[in-house]
Amino acid sequence: MVLNNFKILTFLIFIINISFLVNASQLKGTHFDRIITIVLGNSNYEESMKDPYLLYLANQGMLLSNYHGVWHPSQPNYIAMIRASKSGVLTDFNQDVEGASLPDLLEEKGISWKAYMENYPGNGFSESHSDDKLYVRKHNPFISMNQIRTNSSRYIYIVNADRLKKDIEDGTVPQYVFYSPNMVNSGHDTDLSYAIITFDESSKYLDSLTNYNHIYTVLIGPNVLKSMKHEDNGWYSHYSFVPTIEQNWNLSALGTGDDAESTPFDNEK
């Protein structure tokens, strides 16, 4: 398990809990006004639950104890998080995807988004990895979207993660944040934030169907816990992201196909 460095998680949990300047142009969501997704790499559920820090986080929020990756290896899982579909991507090789993805739906409603990638060279960089090999394209689904990669007024929202500190200082953290750690590190009142910490895929390739790709995922935020329950054992997968976000901001549907099997997170629990 590549979890040597929890500093970034601690930092992100911190930003979720501080107050952001309320920006009048923000579109209010039904359940949250900002969502931060942090994706760690390759660990199965049982391994993750043995980690004291992840266990601690689970107790701070809502553990989704029956959450599944959708494929092996990594890349299709990332694609699924913004397309509700693997979109024909079944390997870690560079592959370009045609059609709309979550950022298109967000932009349509004027909802700001940014993908913060550790060690990303910037400027629409679309090679498979940075020179130092710390950034990898397979963990950046946004750059594989033709409609984003080929448009300089859109790919500017894929940034090096160093930018986050400045965005916090400036009060310009967007409403949708996707955060990919590098290969080593793998709101107030109405301004609610919501964080999802998940893994791309389980480290187990051979597993029973019911336990397939079982991974740790936790939701954290002031509005997550309506009750004292800290666990939701409903069946979820990476396909659940898009419908959860669509539902929150009443976005139009992507209609990518696999979303038939997607269930939004139950925000009423």
For ligand NAG (CB under 6 A), the number of binding residues is 6
Whose Cβ is closer to ligand NAG: residue 108's or residue 132's?
A: 108
Is residue 147 a contact partner of residue 154, using CB atoms and an 8 Å limit? yes
Could you tell me the two tokens for 163?
Answer: 């930018």
Q: Within 98-127, which residues bind ligand NAG (CB under 6 A)?
A: 107
Q: Within 239-258, which residues bind ligand NAG (CB under 6 A)?
A: 250, 252
d(CA 118, CA 183): 9
The CB-of-148 to ligand NAG minimum distance in angstroms stands at 9
Q: Within 127-186, which residues bind ligand NAG (CB under 6 A)?
A: 151, 153-154
The CB-of-217 to ligand NAG minimum distance in angstroms stands at 27
Radius of gyration of the chain (CA): 17
Is residue 148 a contact partner of residue 142, using CB atoms and an 8 Å limit? yes
Whose Cβ is closer to ligand NAG: residue 19's or residue 252's?
A: 252
Whose Cβ is closer to ligand NAG: residue 5's or residue 150's?
A: 150
DSSP E strand stretches across the chain: 34-40, 62-64, 67-68, 113-117, 158-160, 176-180, 193-199, 214-215, 217-220, 231-232, 236-237
Whose Cβ is closer to ligand NAG: residue 152's or residue 208's?
A: 152
Residues that bind ligand NAG (CB under 6 A): 107, 151, 153-154, 250, 252
